[in-house]
């Protein structure tokens, strides 16, 4: 059984689903909710909502819009997610493009509990990393690098708390197999 998540339901950003001619996988929203519950509440402050949508659900201007990513432009409609920071007229929002995320993932990952969260977690936590970088911990480095670093930190935190019982098993497995691998290395 997983430990109790840090984030309560009241501090979570609202999850909004806005699809056009698309039926999302039934597990998608629940997975996003689970991932959000393991983000420390202080990093979600100021994040108003997480919008789950698809390419067809975007406006024409959004579909044609290009954003910078690692020194080149990428069409927003072809990306897995995006982050809109707070402005005077709108709050901070994370956008997840569900059809692109589903297409990019390995289909059988969703049947293995430990791997189920990998693709969605990396995308969601990357975009939350942009929010943390913009609102809470500004660093003067490449934006994508900072977001990737936060994504890794948040994923490690999630796995450490949600699958806490796996780590003792991995440790025992490593201790048992270490002599075998050492012997194999000497003979090779």
Structure confidence at residue 5 (pLDDT) = 61
Structure confidence at residue 29 (pLDDT) = 93
More confident residue, 174 or 95: 95
Residue tagged 């969601």 (tokens): 124
- Give the number of C-alpha atoms closer than 13 A to the C-alpha of residue 62, restricted to the C-beta side: 15
Q: Which domains, from first to last, does the chain contain?
A: 9-187 (3.40.390)
74 to each of 31, 62, 66, 78, 126, how far by Cα in Å? 26, 12, 5, 7, 16
* Mean per-residue pLDDT, 87-116: 88
Quote the percentage of the chain above a pLDDT of 90: 44
* Mean per-residue pLDDT, 47-75: 83
Q: What is the pTM of this model?
A: 0.82
Residue-by-residue DSSP string for the chain: -PPPPSS-GGGSPEEEEE-SS----TTHHHHHHHHHHTS-HHHHTTEEEEEEE-GGGS-HHHHH-EEEETTEEEEGGGSSEEEE---SSS-EEEEEEHHHHHHHS-GGGGGSTTTTTHHHHHHHHHHHHHHIIIII---SS-HHHHHHHHHHHHHHHHHHHHTTTHHHHHHHHHHHHHHHHHHHHHH-
Task: With cut-offs at 50, 70 and 90, classify the pLDDT of residue 8.
Answer: low
Q: What's the alpha-carbon Rg for the chain, to the nearest Å? A: 19
Q: Are 120 and 32 in contact (CB under 8 A)?
A: yes
pLDDT per residue as tens digits for the range 120-160:
999 999 999 999 998 887 777 788 889 999 999 999 999 99
């Amino acid at each position: 059984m997983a430990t109790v998540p840090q984030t309560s339901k009241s501090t979570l950003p609202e999850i909004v689903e806005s699809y056009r001619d698309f039926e999302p996988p039934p597990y998608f929203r629940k997975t996003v909710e689970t991932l959000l519950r393991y983000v420390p509440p202080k990093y979600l402050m100021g994040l108003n909502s997480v919008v789950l949508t698809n390419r067809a659900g975007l406006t024409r201007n959004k579909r044609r819009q290009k954003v910078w990513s690692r020194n080149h432009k990428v069409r927003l409609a072809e990306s897995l997610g995006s982050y809109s920071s707070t402005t005077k007229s709108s709050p901070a929002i994370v956008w997840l493009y569900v059809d692109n995320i589903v297409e990019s993932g390995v289909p059988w990952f969703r049947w293995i509990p430990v791997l189920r969260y990998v693709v969605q977690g990396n995308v969601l936590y990357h975009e939350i990393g942009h929010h943390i970088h913009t609102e809470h911990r500004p660093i003067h480095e490449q934006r994508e690098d900072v977001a990737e670093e936060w994504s890794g930190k948040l994923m490690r935190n999630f796995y450490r708390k949600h699958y806490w019982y796996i780590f003792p098993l991995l440790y025992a497995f490593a201790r048992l197999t270490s002599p075998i691998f050492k012997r194999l290395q000497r003979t090779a």
